[in-house]
Copies of this chain bind each other. A is one copy, B any other.
Amino acid sequence: MKNKEMTTKIRIKQSSYAAVMGILIYACAPAVQEKESAQAEPEYLTSWNDVDSRQAIIDFVEATTTEGSPDYIEPEDRIATFDNDGTLWSEQPFYFQLQFGIDRAKELSDEHPEWASDEVMSAATEGDLEKLLSFGTEGILKVIMLTHGGLTEEEFDAAVMNWVNTARHPKTNLRYNEMVYQPMLEVLDYLRAHGYKTYIVSGGGIDFMRPWTQAVYGIPEEQVVGSSLKATFEERDGKFVVVKSPEMNFVDDKAGKPVAIHQHIGKRPVMAFGNSDGDLEMMQYSSSRAGKSLQVYVHHTDAEREWSYDRDSHIGALDKGWDYALENGWVIVDMAKDWKKVYPSTN
């Protein structure tokens, strides 16, 4: 996987370079900037076909970042929020974090003989997915809480990175964080190059994402918002540490997303990207901001290169949100038609 690591590094370097150049051009010669950016634009979003969704994103960014435009938005208000599962990376056959939880449950089962008589935890340690999913969200949360709790933040970071660097997806045989969408990485880069601050706002665990979002998405820890466990402050072996408790603090899904954005960011997103009904409220919250805004749904239509699902899916259903998007003229990305490629390393 050296190849992939190199690709990622190069991508990040290019993005920093673009940002620095953007600042240089802006600061040194505003007149040059316009010309340069008009010429440079085509290098963005290169894994997208020449489709309406791509054009809608470009038109919106140009309208909100070109000085003198009636829809110009000050840099400090350029907030773009992205769901993670199904919007930036895949989420089938079920949320990747649950696979991490199952793998940890197997590892930890010797230390927890009591799990053998617990029907949720024994389904996890046996890797019996169908049974585990039959317990619904509560079952998923239980596995997450019991396999994530008790660790310091540093220990948990290390456990996540160890898993991310070794585990592979059963269908693609890719590492999980190689199953990110190349066209969406390009959207992130494109927005940042135009002064947008990019945030993840995910139902997934905030601490499960943070250890790798900078390297993979160019999004630093402090711009990741997600579900969380409660935590305590303790002194252990003469060091002060924050320890994750086996108890939910906040579920960052549906109406929780705008509330979490309010608490973490303190201003409404100008752009909001999602893929499921769980993102609808975040996108509605963005749509009600004073001034221009853009809402984009990624629609999973690509059974060949990824997965195809929407209204009735057990994971990431897009039903109520789809109707709402159609009624309100939101942008809908058709993965099969709009994207030249899906993952960075594949077609």
Contact = CB atoms under 8 A, between A and B. Distances in A.
A179 interface: no
A47 interface: no
Nearest to A229: B263
A231 B262 contact: yes
A260 to B, nearest CB: 9
Contacts of A240: 258, 281, 284-285, 287-288
Contact of A262 (B153, B263, B288): B153
B255 A76 contact: no
Interface stretch (A110-118, A127-135, A217-225): A217-225
Number of copies of this protein chain within its complex: 2
A171 to B, nearest CB: 31
Given A27-B24, A240-B287, A221 B281 contact: no
Contact of A263 (B23, B206, B214): B206
A262 B222 CA distance: 9
Contacts of A239: 288
A206 to B, nearest CB: 7
A82 B228 CA distance: 24
Interface string A233-259: 100000111100000010000010011
Contact of A259 (B197, B231, B258): B231
A214 B77 CA distance: 12
Nearest to A287: B240
Given A23-B24, A24-B28, A239-B288, 18 more contacts: A20-B27, A24-B24, A24-B27, A76-B220, A197-B222, A206-B266, A221-B265, A221-B267, A222-B266, A224-B266, A231-B259, A232-B259, A233-B258, A240-B281, A240-B288, A241-B288, A242-B258, A242-B259
A264 B288 CA distance: 25
Contact of A228 (B76, B206, B263): B263
A210 B266 contact: yes
A228 B206 CA distance: 19
Nearest to A281: B233
A135 B266 CA distance: 31
A172 B216 CA distance: 52
B222 A242 contact: no
A209 to B, nearest CB: 9
Nearest to A244: B262
Contacts of A20: 23, 27
Nearest to A256: B233
A222 B23 contact: no
A76 to B, nearest CB: 6
Query: In the complex, which of the residues A79, A153, A263 has the most CB atoms of chain B within 10 Å of its own CB atom?
Result: A263
Contacts of A24: 23-24, 27-28
A221 B266 contact: yes
Contacts of A288: 239-241
A219 to B, nearest CB: 11
A259 B210 CA distance: 16
